[in-house]
Structure 1
């Protein structure tokens, strides 16, 4: 979820369709029964998730809901599909001209953290903060090589020079009548943060896992909005394509005490069982509001946003709800420099938990390369290698700032000339 200008009022709430989840052992026969019970012979079936997205009238809907109460029925839940969005807004107060205060790496988990980070002519500030590129004569020996990050968002600029040469292994649009080409800019920016090149066509480095491949699923329209059914279809596709990590900078607001959607939790569980980790934005509703959906699902790793001083950003949601609604980790999310479509200038700044999420996805890809771990084991590795942000409360930052492990060596810092951050 990013904070940027929007010229269109995006819909919220239910779409009118329903997502039916069946037990994992039930298989395709149960999904066929769901289609018949719903009266929607053309319903969309998500085979890896054991879900169907249906249109049903009141009579058919009552039949489906009664199946949930039947212990012999494979139907687990019948829930409304809802609209999701990137929640655009401009927050001028988040603009900063902070400069780098370099630190020296002394070993895994042992970092003398800088009080303030900032972009330099070499790299964006977030890369320093997560140690993807420490400001010393050394860079992390892992790049995410051999891993694939699926970015489910507004697509990507297929003409952008930084994503040529086989970086993108597959694309698919789940938005009717729109190609995967990014007509917004949000998806390109998030993909760039997760896995932009080590040496961009111009300017500073901005990508965390520069050796990872990209899967691009367009689940949000060029307006910045989509539906939870489109998101689930993207997850289903990413599992089929054997993604290592799925990065989702999207969602919808959650009320205090509201439980997670069964369909998101079941999708995330099935992803983990297929060795795929899902990371999602905690939300931009403000730190008096609970973590949004789908990040509030227990099996989705939720990511809060940090500013250049490693304080929690004012817009970042808190883990106020139980049942999985915690913040798990935090990452840089204020005035983040990355790629944008070439017709929008090729590079630009965005702010939000949207920007924190691909930082976490990129670090997860690098940890996957280093350790060979996947799924739940990769989740645990990501949290165990975080940088503590005490005294900030866990409800704000979870286990702490995501970190790339580096070699146990002490190196001399090199001079870095700070570059002012501009909108």
Structure 2
């Protein structure tokens, strides 16, 4: 019995001693290079918890290489070795850099004796996914492109190109909610193109039909780009659509102070004042816009509408009069007023016609004015054009 006990004790001591052996991290990398990933993974998984190797930068470097290889393999059996290979690879590379910030010992030597640094290998890992993203985009497989660009961004989070392209891919694929989120992520990462803000906002308006959400995004964008005229104009337009007129008016007044020669701002002010039934103020704003930019079609057209409406208001008043002698006299007295209003509107509508001679509304309006002013030849010209 004593002899048997001693044998068992010796065996236990031997096993204990074996379990404390330092893992051979170089063997792990050699196994990786030979394609023996299961063995490489087993060694490196033990090395990151072993007292003698867990604080060695090269342990984590090799782990990053091993898990990156598992992540990018086309071999299903190897890929099955880990459910989160990319996450483990990125964490390992980060840990290696933390332990060896200068990365002096973090390289492998190729067959030609040329060292390949960890930073180069991370760049190749990034390119693997980035190129797959480009391929997906070119093939119009937009969700695939998005997924691969996001993966590239996970490998090199400090680079913004991949996440920007992920946003563009989502946008092109009409993956609107994902596109808005990705544009936001790109901006948060420091991407500086104003198109990122514009695209994000336009998706919110046109794609998601969320004007309130778009307004919130514009407010955030203006914190970064406080003097951007396009964002300011779009904010005003949204405020008008959302019936937040007082806020829009304050914004427009401020914008005009900063850009007194901007016809678009006066045009927007005219629309806003018209919405509040300040028609005289609207007309003056359109006049100012046209003075600045004589070819501004929107301002010219809306000015024409305001002028013709002044004539229409008098015509409505006449039509509402009764049949009494006093009413009939009043109607006759108001005819010259109507003609004066139409004469005042005529040059403006002829100008609108110059700008867009094929516009049906303009032709119809001119025909109406010519007819009421007994300008038969001009009336016939417009009538023929309508026909």
Structures share a fold, TM > 0.5? no
Q: Greater strand share, 1 or 2? A: 1
Q: Greater helix share, 1 or 2? A: 2
Q: Sort the TM-score into its range (normalised by shorter chain).
A: under 0.3
TM-score by length of 2: 0.22
> Which one has more relative contact order, counting CA pairs under 8 Å at least 6 apart?
1
